Structure 1
Amino acid sequence: MTTKINEMNTYIRSLRYEEMDQAIELSGFAFQHTITPEVRAMRRKMIPSSSVRGIFRKEDDTLLGKLTLLDLQVYVGEKVLDMGGIAGVATWPEYRRLGLVRQLLAHSLREMREKGLTLSMLHPFSFSFYRKYGWETFVDRKICTLKMAQVPVYSANGSEGQWVRLAASEEAWTAMQDVYDRVARHYNGTLVRTGMWWQERVFQSGSIKYVYERAHEGDASTEGEGSGKEEKVREAFLEYEVRDRKMKVYASGYTTEAGRRAIWQFIAQHDSMADEIEIEVPANEDMTYGLDDPKFKQEITPYFMARIVDMEGFLRQYPFQPGSACQLVLEVVDTFADWNNGAYLLELDEAGHVAIVQISEERSLERSGHDEATLPVIRGAIPDITAWLLGYRHGVELYKRQLITGDEQAVQVLSSRLSGHSTYLPDFF
């Protein structure tokens, strides 16, 4: 007779080194991947056993399911926040629909909160499944497909720079990261890539990498009167491959208009190799304006989900923008992480500094010296508040759809104090 699986006879812990093969086999089955010796070695190298949480049956230590919890960092309003990346969630089919993933997610949220990770992100197999636990869509993928004849043509000028092809070396990672970081900090949710991430994730992909450099005259005062030493400044990067007369641009970015034009000029140089271009860009990138033939396919699909792990901690770290001083109450509903439930009094000064009081029975507005009746109130559930604060959806839009309720003027005021950045994630985990 099979013992019923429930929270009473299961436990969760990090996997031991010798148990990683079990997790790899489970991933191969769940995600329909062939596990070759090379794949096994790569996964052991990329994911330490200490990052994998397994749920086991107590009586015989059988691994029933697992997930990977990655300690990562992302940009939010040019500020770096610690983030918990959830990946590789899987259970064996005979143990599905028993609440095991729910237990793993609850355990991971508590662990992230204890570690000070105020935000979490994941790539869902089902958006509705993870929405039940507080995650919400926060970023889209935008892929544009156009003919080579539609690529914009820009004439060369005297300040034209050069493209440098990068090999897999620390020097190359640094060169590409130099541009990537300056691009990434202008979006919310973009990963802060470590050296290990560049080495194991980016430069192992097999695609071709380039950076674009231009000479700029340096500050003469630092080199002596009138020296004007020229320095090369990186202004764009490109990651792509060409196969079967199709050029796929997996990632690109630029910091100047010259860099943007240089990307198109470089793509156009592949006209003898490719008839069609497929390029992935941020969802807010306007690809059509100014083109002679702007009629081409633009495919936008929901990509990753995010959720605020610790509401108070996230608000304290959030990069609010300068504006008129204001006070408001944010009432949050979180049915899965109950520590977030409640009301938060936000006091924003003109510089964007915030003071926060989490209101509860023990810590009321009255005790904090404020009159609850005179303060505007905004109410919302954790998924919608996450999408709002990260810039995926505007507060006014959520208010019109009755996903955010309360004082409409307060919604407009708080929206005006957010980072103003849109979301973008060119990575996967």
Structure 2
Amino acid sequence: MDVVNIGEERYLEAIRLSEYAFQNRVADEQLEERLTHLKKHQQLIGIIEEDALVAKLHFLPLEVYVGDMKIKMGGIAGVATYPEFRRNGFVKEMLITILERMRSEGYSISMLYPFSVPFYRRYGWELFSNRIKATMSKSDLHFQAATEGKIRRMFNSPPIQELNDLYETYAKNYSGMLVREQDWWEKIVKDQQIAIYYDQANQPSGYIMYTVKNKTMKVEELVTLNAEAKRGIWNYICQHDSMSDDFEIITHEKEPLLFSINEPRVKLEITPYFMARIVDVELLFKTYVLNWGSDIEELVLQVSDSYAAWNDKTFVLTPNKIFIEGRDVRREKSLHLSINALSTILFGYKTPSELSEVGQVKGKREEIEKFERLLPKRAPFFYDFF
């Protein structure tokens, strides 16, 4: 089989394949918009049989924040095959092809939303973030101390540059948050209410993105840069007690707001969300900042990767250089782990010690502890979807 680039002349076929596979019909009035979006933001590869598109994969050239760093990230979406062509290895070949292409184009990592976690784990992608939905009723809404700033609700076009500046500052505290371009913002704010908190000096320091429908307030994003903005936005949510009976907030495990409310025992649904994969270990470690100290001279990682031979190596990391050896080299201080384990560790989703308890990191205890000391203390988070 040959995996080929899919040109614009077959984009309608790709949409029809998605409709069939995901059982989600694109309305006629939205079809042109969908085609334009594909042409502008995505690249497609696939497999042609008898002059028909029978399997395809969408590639999105994106970036994510890992702390202060912006790293090239290859997003994968829309992976689909018609049922009569399944179990022929088509998806496997497309994933191998896109991994090779991402490496050649300088992508360090890849992300996707899985239809099946076990399926994509097989190819090296691993969970890196959770999605938390907090559900509460109006009886849970108790005002906190008043703030000196004020909330401004945006009635028409929201100030996207202002929102992005807040989002960018917030995102640099985490691993994995998407770098959003202007048109990405325009898409996500559509049909959303936006309110921004301004401090006494009229400086923006937080925003909320939400909807209010059928007596339910759903907070899709809550971004705050300090405690004042957090209180101000929470009090703004409380002001909706006459309009809504139920409230939902999408957030993450480390958000202290839920701890600070009067009765923190609200319903929390924690769902593993996006998956990530290191595309090129050597390239990533050239930009990923480890906490080297005078007591650590090197870290030796023996990585297994069945679908990217360039990662199936022993990596000797030092404060100034990376040395790469074959996996047959045996070092006394080596830590043995898969590309999956390394991916989830570097995003901060799981620690080397946690994975060692389930046999996914193997090596001496002192080397595992050394690895943990080298890692930045940064939580993973991902708000977006593709």
Partner of 2:384: 427
Q: State whether residues 76 and 319 of structure 1, in contact with CA within 8 Å, keep that contact through their aligned partners in structure 2.
A: no
Q: Are 2:6 and 1:15 equivalent residues in the alignment?
A: yes
Equivalent residue, structure 2, for 1:222: none
Q: Which residues in structure 2 correspond to 1:142-181 (within 5 Å)?
A: 142-157=132-147, 159-165=148-154, 167-168=156-157, 172-181=159-168
Match of 2:312 among 325, 334, 341: 341
> Is 1:203 aligned to 2:194, yes or no?
no
Deviations, residues 335-363 of structure 1 (Å, cap 9, x unaligned): 11121101011002xxxxx41011139xx
Please list every run of 5 or more consecutive structure 2 residues that lacks an aligned counterpart in the other structure: none
Conservation of the 8 A alpha-carbon contact between 2:11 and 2:38: no
Q: Which residue of 1 aligns with 2:170?
A: 183
Partner of 2:81: 91
Bigger Rg over Cα: 1
Percent identity of paired positions between Structure 1 and Structure 2: 33
Q: Which amino acid aligns with 1:135?
A: W
Tell me what 1:118 maps to: 108
Q: Tell me the distance in 2 between the aligned counterparts of 1:248 and 1:339.
A: 44
Taking the aligned partners of 1:377 and 1:167, their CA distance within structure 2 comes to 57
How many residues align? The count is 384
Q: For residues 392-419 of structure 1, give each alpha carbon's deviation from its aligned partner in whole angstroms, at most 9, with x where no partner exists.
A: 0011111122210112212212212222
Instruction: Please give the secondary structure, in 2, of the residue aligned with 1:269.
Output: helix
TM norm structure 2: 0.95
1:54 aligned residue (28, 36, 46) = 46
Q: Does 1:38 align with 2:29?
A: yes
Does the Cα contact within 8 Å between 1:164 and 1:213 map onto a contact in 2? no
Q: Which residue, out of 244, 247, 270, partners 2:217?
A: 247
Partner of 1:276: 246
Q: How far does the alpha carbon of each residue in 1:30-82 deviate from its partner, in whole angstroms, 9 at most, with x for none?
A: 1111122222112112222861112113xx33211101000000011221100
Structure 2 counterpart of 1:182, one-letter code: T
Change (3 A) 1:167 1:411: farther
Pair 1:383-2:340 in alignment: yes
Matched position secondary structure for 2:262 = coil
1:392 is aligned to 2:349: yes
3-state SS of 1:401 partner: coil
Task: Give the secondary-structure state (helix, strand or coil) at the position aligned to 1:190.
Answer: strand
Amino acid at match of 1:76: V
2:379 and 2:115 mapped to 1: Cα distance? 24
Q: Which residue is equivalent to 1:215?
A: 200
Partner amino acid for 1:39?
Q
Pair 1:392–1:193, CA change in 2 (3 A): same
The one-letter code matched in structure 1 to 2:350 is R
- In 2, Cα distance between the equivalents of 1:63 and 1:174? 40
Cα RMSD for the two superposed structures? 1.8
| Runs of 4+ residues over 4 Å off in structure 1 | none
CA distance in 1, matches of 2:324, 2:162: 44
Tell me how far apart the structure 2 counterparts of residues 176 and 156 of structure 1 sit (CA, whole Å): 23
Normalising by structure 1, we get a TM-score of: 0.86
Query: Structure 1 residue 97: deviation in Å?
Result: 1.1
Distance in 2, Cα, partners of 1:309 & 1:129: 17
Structure 2 CA distance for aligned equivalents of residues 186 and 38 of structure 1: 40
Give the C-alpha shift of residue 85 in structure 1.
0.2
Gaps of 5+ in 1: 1-6, 217-231, 349-353, 366-371
Amino acid at match of 1:239: M
Q: Which of 8, 12, 15 is equivalent to 1:24?
A: 15
**Is the 1:77–1:319 contact (alpha carbons within 8 Å) kept by the matching residues of 2?**
no
